[in-house]
Amino acid sequence: MNIRIFATPQEAGIYAAAIAEGVLVSRPRPVLGLATGTTPIPFYEALVNLYRCGLDMSHTITINLDEYIGLPPDHPQSYHDFMRQHLFAHTNLRTEHTHIPNGMASSLQEECERYDRLLHDHPIDLQILGIGVNGHIGFNEPNHLLLARTHVVRLREETMRSNARFFASMDDVPREAITMGVQSILQAERILLLAFGPEKADIIAEAVRGNVRTDVPASILQLHRRVTVVLDAESARGLPGAIR
């Protein structure tokens, strides 16, 4: 794994966006795998800035990792709304080129199958990932096994607690989500794993330096040939001797 450590999330976001730009300008129909959460926000800010400076995104296809089950797309905490707010509304990405699992689908099984067909038809060139405090990627939670394909997941208590900061109360936090599986993530040609802040230092050290374990889902990224871990000084605290 390549490791890059920046002074601030903003500098890291600019680095990640520059890599994304390289992908977008080198392919006729680039496919970006996208993530939500606080972590990728500096990346989206930098990407929007590149768009304002002339980067054309009209041929780009985006495929998001996950969505809560039961939140309509216009719910302020849905990942649909997050993506609109932080990226889609500020670029020339075409709505029909942006994809997020439908957490309101009447058949969630069919929705998972539809998403896998989409992923099959549009192999991801660059996957952006955050990491949960428990090591989850997308919503692939720590478990005795990791599921390969898109699936419905019951969120772990620590994930719900961590995500409760965005909701009025813990009772409002959805208990389930649809997420891309780990095989789909690993099929991306290139992966950027972003993590910022002191609360991510321990899990980053485990995911990057520890053994590959299903109870630290991000550790499976060690098996991928082209992963760059993009950190700030605080999230890198557990990696003494990492490249600076």
Residues labelled as active-site residues: 66, 134, 136, 141
Task: Identify the residue whose tokens are 């680039």.
Answer: 30
Contact 196, 231 (CB under 8 A): yes
Q: How far is the CB of 140 from ligand GLP (least distance, A)?
A: 9
Q: How far is the CB of 65 from ligand GLP (least distance, A)?
A: 5
3-state secondary structure of 174: coil
**Which residues contribute to the site for ligand GLP (CB under 6 A)?**
35-39, 65-66, 130-132, 138-139, 159, 163
Contact 150, 184 (CB under 8 A): yes
Q: How far is the CB of 121 from ligand GLP (least distance, A)?
A: 23
Judged by beta carbon, residue 55 or residue 80, the one nearer ligand GLP is 80
Judged by beta carbon, residue 16 or residue 55, the one nearer ligand GLP is 16
Judged by beta carbon, residue 39 or residue 219, the one nearer ligand GLP is 39
Token reading at 198:
């002191």
* Residue 10 C-alpha from the chain's centroid: 17
Q: How far is the CB of 31 from ligand GLP (least distance, A)?
A: 18
| Cα–Cα dist 210/135, whole Å | 12
Judged by beta carbon, residue 33 or residue 55, the one nearer ligand GLP is 33
Contact 127, 33 (CB under 8 A): yes
Q: Hey, CA dihedral for 181, 95, 168, 130, is it positive or negative?
A: positive
Which residues on neighbouring strands pair with residue 2, listed in sequence order? 228
Q: Hey, CA dihedral for 101, 20, 58, 84, is it positive or negative?
A: positive
